[in-house]
């Protein structure tokens, strides 16, 4: 998979920057000024931010029991929450 034209915020406190990302087998392989190979699936992230997952410390999924009614927690995952 190849994500191109995104604004990257990598979580290292560096300034955001434009770039491309290559992902293979679920692992980031390269970031920067790279070009896709002809066989890669391309996702155009122009006008979007590409960031690592977010940790939601106050999701309340345990209090409202949504963890049991919706164990996949799709609403959180779609917002980028990873934990």
Give the single-character DSSP code of 45: -
The answer to whether 55 and 49 have CB atoms below 8 angstroms apart is no
**pLDDT (average), residues 64-73:** 68
24-52 pLDDT per residue, tens: 998 999 998 999 999 999 999 999 999 88
Give phi and psi for 24, each to the nearest 5.
Answer: -130, 130
Instruction: DSSP for 5-25, please give it.
Output: EEEE--SSSPPPEEEEEEEET
Residue 62 has pLDDT above 90, yes or no: no
């Amino acid at each position: 998979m190849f994500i191109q034209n995104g604004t990257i915020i990598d979580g290292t406190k560096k300034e955001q920057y434009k770039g491309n990302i290559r992902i293979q087998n679920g692992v980031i392989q390269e970031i920067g000024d790279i070009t896709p190979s002809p066989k890669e699936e391309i996702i155009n992230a122009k006008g979007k931010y590409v960031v690592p997952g977010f940790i939601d410390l106050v999701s309340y999924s345990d209090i409202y029991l949504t963890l049991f009614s919706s164990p996949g927690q799709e609403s959180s995952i779609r917002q980028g929450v990873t934990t």
